[in-house]
Every structure is written in C-alpha cells, then in structure tokens.
Amino acid sequence: MRLAAKVYYDGTAFYGSQRQPDRRTVEGELLRALRSLGEVRNFKSAGRTDRFVSALGNVFAFDMDRKLPPRAVNARLCPELRVLAIREVPGHFHPRYDALHRTYRYFLYDEGFDLGAIREACRLLEGEHSFHNFTRARGKNYTRRLLSVTAERRGEVVVLTFKGESFLWEMVRRLTSAIAMVGRGELSLEALEEALLPGVERKFPAAPPQFLVLWEVAYDFEFEHEEYTAGKLSQQLEERFAALCAQAAIAGAMSAELRG
Amino acid sequence: MRLAAKVYYDGTAFYGSQRQPDRRTVEGELLRALRSLGEVRNFKSAGRTDRFVSALGNVFAFDMDRKLPPRAVNARLCPELRVLAIREVPGHFHPRYDALHRTYRYFLYDEGFDLGAIREACRLLEGEHSFHNFTRARGKNYTRRLLSVTAERRGEVVVLTFKGESFLWEMVRRLTSAIAMVGRGELSLEALEEALLPGVERKFPAAPPQFLVLWEVAYDFEFEHEEYTAGKLSQQLEERFAALCAQAAIAGAMSAELRG
C-alpha cells in the first residue's frame, strides 16, 4: 500500500530535511519512526528544504503494509516534527513529480519597506522567466513558471507568498533578497526585470533560511488533517507565538531605551 | 578604588545571576573577566535574579587598582552579557543597600486582557502592603513599598512596570500572575486587595521568568553608558527584535492556518 504523509516541521530543530548519517534530519527522524511501526519501502519526498527552513506541508510517500494514523507516528517523533495527515495514494505516486504546484512563504521583517514597490516587483516576477540569477544551482535549465507572487503586511512583518510549479535551489530566498532591495529603494524594477533575461549576469544573495516556510505542496487530491494533531499543534504554535511576541517586545524596548 | 558597573544580560543564556560552581552564571562570568584584568576584591551585587530573568541594568560593585573602560571587560565576555557603564563610587558603596529604588518590567502577552481592570489592579498594589502572598520567601518581614505600578499596551504585549524600594523573592512574578488573573476576569479587585492584608492566606503562583527584566537600579548618582557599547548592543537587540517578530509571525500564521 502506498501512503502519502503531509508533514510539519520547525526547521531550526533539524539539520535540513534530507537524510544524512549522524545528523538529526527530518527524513531521518520520520523514517526511524515509520520503521519502528513496520517495513518501509520506496520512501520519496516532495522536495528538500535547506537547513533551518520550516514546513507546514512537506509531503513524503512510502510503501507500507497498512495505513497508519498520524497519531501513531507522532508518538514516536519529537514535537518539532508532526505528521498532519496520511492518505492512500496510487502505487506509482511520486510526491515530487506528481505535485501540481508548491507554495512557499517568506516572513520578512518590515524595515519600513515601500510596499507598493514590493508589490510591483512581485507582479513582475510572475510568469515564466529565466531564474539563472536567483539560484545556487549550476548548469541546469533555469526556466521556471511562477503562478503568483504576493506581498501582505501583517504587523511588523511583510509576508511574501510564492506559488510555482517548481523552484530552483535557493530560488525563493534569492528572490526575497531582490524584493527586499526593491522595497528599500536599492534596486529598481527595471534592474530586477533585466536580471530575468537570459544572458544577463546579476546574481542575488540568499535571504536567511530561518524565515522561509514550505507552506504547501498541492496535488490532484486533498489531505485531511487529523483533527487531534492539528488542534494540538495549533495550540503549541499559538503558545510559541505568545512567547516570541513577549521576547520581541523585550528586545525592542531595551533597544529603544539604549538609543535613549 | 571602588567601582560600580551597570550590566545588561540576556537571562536565557545563564544559570541565574548568582555565582555557582560549574554553572555559567552572570556573576561567575563577570568575575572571571574582571580577574583576567586585575585583582578583584569585595564583589557585591544589587540583587540576585532568578534563572532566565534578564537585566538591562543590574549593578555590581568591586574594588580594583584602576578604573576599567567597559569595552575592555566586554572583550572578555560573551555577547549575552555587556557592561554598559563603569564609574567610581565611594569606598563604602554597596550596590544593594545604597540603591534608592529598583524598576522591574514584565512583558505579558496580551491574551485580550481588560486593560482598565489591570490598571486598577496596578493602582491598588501601589504603596505599603504585606506581600506575604506574593513571594516564595518564608519567615521574613513581608512589608514592602511599591512606589508605582503601571501597565502599557505595546502591540501584542502589555508591559507592566514595577518601581519599588526593594522586592521579595519572586514578588514581581507573583504580582504579575495576580494582575493577569484580574485582566482575564478570573480575580476580582476585592480579592486582590484582601490578599494584601496580613493574616489572609491566598498564595499566587509565579509567572514564567523569561519575560521579566530587572530594568534599572537607581542611586543618588547616574551611570553614563559607554557610547560604543550601548550603540552596538542597541543594534544587536534591534536585529533580535526583527528576527523574533518574523519567527512570531511564522508561528502565528501556521497556527491560524491549522485552525482553518
């Protein structure tokens, strides 16, 4: 029986998603938990995420003798890694190649950005372009199609949402750097547009990984969250939100006091 | 020569402020740095802070042969501990007994508190009371005078500011618990007032330590921050603020998404 699992993880707790000997990785932990419950074959992931990158919905597929409830797997996992849903999929299912599109979200602290300019930059990135200046990958086909790129202000943060069929290595983080530069007035829309033309060399650095989330991988079916797990994780994240808000307020108040 | 040092620390990086063998503590680290620069005698602190409690301004006094610039000490300290100012004080100076008053700030995540009720609770606590229900200390004189208690909403957080001549062990954290209960409508102002009467037994638990800051210890002189150190620390805290805001936004957005 082939199963697909939708998985949350806090990227700061792992050494990346991909299996590595002697490192705590998302795949390594998940495989260990699954294997303690039965034989696991043909384990595949929808996509690697770099060290410190989180996911609300990465997807893994594997063959097992029986369908497992997420709770049974979660009981064998650390709290930074949660299986939200498990469902049966066709025997040939591959979470990477069968994905319709992926959504990433980057949470960018608002330095006082020009949100109008950021939105124009987002619009400009939509569609099919050569992203050779926005990746660490080399010697590949750099053409990708971005279905939508949006920016939304939420309190102190601007949330960038990238929806695309597939992404190059570090593409979202490098696009985020460029968008932030536009928001700061350091990069013109014309220069950004030019960097998307084949043959133009203008590399952008990668924004830090810890503010990036692989939000969703979409298929021609839906995942249904296990209610118990989603509820518990939601509460755990709400508590984390409260604690981080208070810690942020401490840092902000101290910084202001020292500036005098 | 007797010197007084005003010291910042991030409480989450230490095992409390007081010296302990084989533990990284604020006093331990500070003493180690000072001793590497000369002989240190008669080392005293303005007050102990519990594990995870931070300070923008705890004060330590010690005798040394010469006055040191904060930068020289900071070069031998971890970044979570910064000497903001060092000044000469009279030979009999004791940072604890010579303090005029102390200011603590508690950063409370706003659960949707009734701020009006919280402010009434604050006003009620001002003045001289028996704080026997608001301390972990036993068999002591429980009478203390609070010079002022105020509450201010700042974004997602309510900042409580307690100014008093001196405080009992865990007093601020236990007062904060009571104030939060008033803000939630779980405790009446009458019940709070009653808990301040000698002979009435109604113990309150301590709010978590990591959101408490020893903000200032006041003397009949001023500390002048070393500009370089204050500027650098302010920038470091601003970067921490930005990172924590983004991490909070991630947790908040994920939690909301899971609630559906």
pLDDT in tens, A35-73: 999 999 999 999 999 999 999 999 999 999 999 999 999
Phi and psi at residue A232, to the nearest 5° = -65, -45
Q: How many residues does chain B have?
A: 260
User: What SS3 class is residue B174?
Assistant: helix
What fold, for A2-98+226-259? Alpha-Beta Plaits (3.30.70)
Q: What is the DSSP letter of A200?
A: -
Q: What is the pLDDT, as a whole number, of residue B34? A: 97
Whole-number Å distance between alpha carbons of A164 and A134: 14
User: What SS3 class is residue A63?
Assistant: strand
From chain A residues 123-152, the ones with a CB under 8 A of any chain B CB are none
Phi and psi at residue A29, to the nearest 5° = -70, -40
Do strands A157-164 and A143-154 pair parallel, antiparallel, or not at all (unpaired)?
Answer: antiparallel
Q: What is the pLDDT of residues A166-219, one digit of tens each?
A: 999 999 999 999 999 999 999 999 999 999 999 999 999 999 999 999 999 999
CA dist list (Å): B246 to B11, B62, B212: 22, 41, 22
Q: What is the pLDDT, as a whole number, of residue A66? A: 94
Q: What is the pLDDT, as a whole number, of residue A132? A: 96
Whole-number Å distance between alpha carbons of A216 and A169: 17
Domains B2-98+226-259 and B101-214 are alike in CATH topology? yes
Any alpha helices (H) in B104-170, and if so which ranges?
Answer: 115-125
Do strands A212-218 and A54-63 pair parallel, antiparallel, or not at all (unpaired)?
Answer: parallel
Per the residue annotation, which of B22, B50, B98, B220 is the catalytic one?
A: B50
For chain A, the structural domain boundaries read 2-98+226-259, 101-214
Mean pLDDT of A88-94: 97
Whole-number Å distance between alpha carbons of A249 and A158: 18
What interface predicted TM-score (ipTM) does this complex get? 0.96
From chain B residues 175-204, the ones with a CB under 8 A of any chain A CB are none
Q: What is the pLDDT, as a whole number, of residue A22? A: 85
| Residue A155 scores a pLDDT above 80 | yes
Q: Contacts of residue B156 in chain A, CB cutoff 8 Å? A: 155, 242, 245, 249
Q: What is the pLDDT, as a whole number, of residue A204? A: 97
Contact status, residue A215 vs residue A56, Cβ threshold 8 Å: yes
pLDDT confidence band for A137 (50 / 70 / 90): confident
Contact status, residue A76 vs residue A33, Cβ threshold 8 Å: yes
Contact status, residue A106 vs residue A28, Cβ threshold 8 Å: no
Which residues, other chains included, contact A6 with Cβ-Cβ below 8 Å and sequence gap of 6+?
A57, A58, A59, A83, A84, A85, A86, A223, A225
Q: Could you read off the pLDDT tens digit of each residue along chain B, which spans 260 residues?
A: 999 999 999 999 999 988 888 899 999 999 999 999 999 999 999 999 999 999 999 999 999 999 999 999 999 999 999 999 999 999 999 999 999 999 999 999 999 999 999 999 999 999 999 999 999 988 779 999 999 999 999 999 999 999 999 999 999 999 999 999 999 999 999 999 999 999 999 999 999 999 999 999 999 999 999 999 999 999 999 999 999 999 999 999 999 999 98
| Residue A140 scores a pLDDT above 80 | no
Is residue B50 part of the annotated active site? The answer reads: yes
Please answer yes or no on whether B253 and A108 come within 8 Å at the CB atom: no
Q: What is the pLDDT, as a whole number, of residue B242? A: 97
Asked if A237 reaches chain B (Cβ–Cβ under 8 Å), the answer is yes
Output the six-digit token pair for B78. Answer: 């971890």
Q: What is the pLDDT, as a whole number, of residue A207? A: 98
Question: Which residue of chain A has the CA closest to B225?
Answer: A258
Distance of CA A256 to the CA centre of its chain: 33
From A144, A139, A159, A120, select the one nearest A196 (Cα to Cα).
Answer: A144
Whole-number Å distance between alpha carbons of B185 and A141: 61
pLDDT confidence band for A19 (50 / 70 / 90): confident
CATH of domain A101-214: 3.30.70.660
Whole-number Å distance between alpha carbons of B95 and B31: 16
Which residues, other chains included, contact B64 with Cβ-Cβ below 8 Å and sequence gap of 6+?
B1, B3, B34, B37, B38, B39, B40, B41
Q: What is the pLDDT, as a whole number, of residue B98? A: 98
Please answer yes or no on whether A156 and B245 come within 8 Å at the CB atom: yes
Whole-number Å distance between alpha carbons of B173 and B209: 7
Asked if B242 reaches chain A (Cβ–Cβ under 8 Å), the answer is yes
Whole-number Å distance between alpha carbons of B109 and A244: 9
Q: What is the DSSP letter of A32?
A: H
Nearest to A245 among B238, B248, B250 (CB): B248
Q: What share of residues in chain A are helix, strand, coil (percent, to 5)?
A: 35, 25, 40
When scoring A53, A113, A176, A241 by the number of chain B Cβ atoms within 10 A, the one with the most, hence best to mutate, is A241
